[in-house]
Amino acid sequence: MSLHNFINMLTVRKTKIVICISVIALLISNCNRKSDSENQITIKINSIDSKTKQRRVNLFDTVEVRKEKFGYLTKTFPVEKKYIMDSMGSVKIKIDTTKLYKVFVLGFKAFGPEMYYPGYLKDGQEINIEVISLE
C-alpha cells in the first residue's frame, strides 16, 4: 500500500467519525427540547371598542394570527391562521409559546393590532385587543 493511499484512507475514516459525532450530538440536543405540542397553549382574545371600552358583540370580527418567519433581509409575518369571533366578541386560539406573534383584529371599518413576544402569554390567558374605528 502506498503512502498516498494510506493518507486517503485515514482522511475518509476521519470524515466518517466527524459525521457520526455530529449526528449523535444533534440527536442528543434535540432530545432536550420540548415537543411542539408541549409548547402549545390556548388563549382567549376579546375584541374591545376603544371608545366605549366594551366588547364588540355581534360584529363577528376576523382575527389574523401572524407568526414570525425569517425572510431575505428582515423578519416577515405571514398569516398563519384566521379566526372569526363569536357573538360575544371573543375567540379561543392555540399558539406556540416560543414564537413571536402579531395578532390583528379586523372588523368593518375597524382595526386593532397587538404583538406578543415568546414567553409572554400563559395557558388560559384572556387578552383584550382594543379596536380603533377607521371612520
Q: Over the stretch 9-48, which tens digit does the pLDDT of each residue have?
A: 667 677 778 787 877 777 776 665 555 678 899 999 999 9
Q: Over the stretch 90-119, which tens digit does the pLDDT of each residue have?
A: 999 999 999 999 999 999 899 999 999 999
How many CB atoms neighbour CB 131 within 10 A? 23
Grid cell digits, residue 31: 432530545
User: Torsions phi, psi of 67, nearest 5?
Assistant: -105, 140
- The pTM (predicted TM-score) of the whole model is 0.68
In DSSP notation, 10-71 reads HHHHHHHHHHHHHHHHHHHHHHTSPPHHHHEEEEEEEEEETTT-SB-TTS--EEEEEE-EE-
Q: Are 47 and 112 in contact (CB under 8 A)?
A: yes
Q: What is the pLDDT of residue 15?
A: 77
Q: Over the stretch 49-68, which tens digit does the pLDDT of each residue have?
A: 999 999 999 999 999 999 99
Q: What is the pLDDT of residue 127?
A: 95
Q: Are 131 and 111 in contact (CB under 8 A)?
A: yes
Grid cell digits, residue 56: 364588540
The CATH T-level fold of domain 36-133 is: Immunoglobulin-like (2.60.40)
The residue ranges of every structural domain in the chain are 1-33, 36-133
Q: What is the mean pLDDT of residues 73-83?
A: 91
Report the C-alpha gap between 85 and 56 in whole angstroms.
Answer: 10
Q: Over the stretch 118-131, which tens digit does the pLDDT of each residue have?
A: 999 999 999 999 99
Q: What is the pLDDT of residue 8?
A: 66
Q: What is the pLDDT of residue 13?
A: 74
